Amino acid sequence: MTVVAFAGPSLPPEDRAGVYGVEWCPPAEAGDLLRLDAGPELTVCLIDGYFDHRPAVRHKEILLLLSEGVRILGASSIGALRAAEMAALGMIGVGSIYRAYASGRIVGDDEVALIHGPADAGWRPVSIPLVDVRATLCRALRDRMLLLEDARSLLIAAGEIHYIERCWEGLIAASGIPTVVQARLRAWLRDGQMSQKRLDAQACIAAALDNSAIPPIRPPLVRTAFLEALAQECGIAPPWLPSEPVSTARAPTHGGPPAGRDGSEAPSREAVPH
């Protein structure tokens, strides 16, 4: 069995160091799944991916791999989104974020969006996704660090801040909660804040390495002109691609600016915590 994981800011380098049997790839973009050697021996963990200034992983790519017997797990970020959208076709969702999307408790892409550093900095997150704000506020309530009304004010403030700019200092300042509560929360956050994205990414890798998992569903695939065009644009020539090219567009690459967002290439301005 071969396990390929597309991961970036959701799974820091220290979490990958002790994991064996996984081929690590950067956050996925459109066409990346088509480059894989598809077959029943392949398991894919789709965790992080681009969906802003770079084209996102397409549903047709996922469907193609599923039809070839590939087991595809999704969690944490765009993987959770795609798994919620394609669970009926055989994609396997893992973790709390996936379940929240699948149940409709959360719906927006911005729930998982963040800005992060480059690969040589370990894809370190620079802003905070809403799902991690939610998880941290739930822990703060359990620890009796916050009253419910203060937690609600913080969550509302977080939702009103663009994901590029979202950081704890900024949302605390914008929340309007009492000054004494702000000070207490800042101190608690040093050890208390949670990353649900990280927890779900870890669970996804563990599930992928578990050979006792449910065997994949193999849905039928209709090979459309869109899928053929995407392969051609990416410079890929799988056996099902027609001999005549359907597009001359240049292939997307993982090059370019060194920093990016969980869903984009490098922003035109850098967002850092205030």
The predicted-structure confidence for 51-110, as pLDDT tens digits, reads as follows 877 889 999 999 999 999 999 999 999 999 999 999 999 999 999 999 999 999 999 888
- What is the band of 151 on the pLDDT scale with cuts at 50, 70, 90? very high
Give me 151's structure tokens: 């937690």
Model confidence over 28-46: pLDDT tens digits? 999 999 999 888 899 999 9
Fill in the amino acid letter for 208.
A
Give the relative orientation of helices 130-142 and 196-208 as an angle to the nearest 10 degrees. 100
Give yes or no: residues 140 and 177 share one domain: yes
**Is residue 14 located within the same domain as residue 95?**
yes
One domain for residues 23 and 53: yes
For the chain, the average pLDDT equals 85
Name the pLDDT band for 223 (thresholds 50, 70, 90).
confident
| 67 & 145 share domain | no
Domains held by the chain: number: 2
- Both 28 and 87 in a single domain? yes
Residue 274 within any structural domain of the chain: no
**Spatial separation of the C-alpha atoms in residues 169 and 158, rounded to whole Å:** 11
Assigned token pair, 196: 């649900």
Residue 141 lies in a domain: yes
Q: Are residues 96 and 174 in the same domain?
A: no
User: Average pLDDT for residues 175-199, to the nearest whole number?
Assistant: 97
Beta-bridge partner residues of 74: 46, 93
pTM of the model: 0.83
Same domain, 131 and 86: no
Q: 53, 29 in Cβ contact below 8 A?
A: no
Q: Two tokens at 198? A: 């990280």
Q: Which domain holds residue 178?
A: 125-195
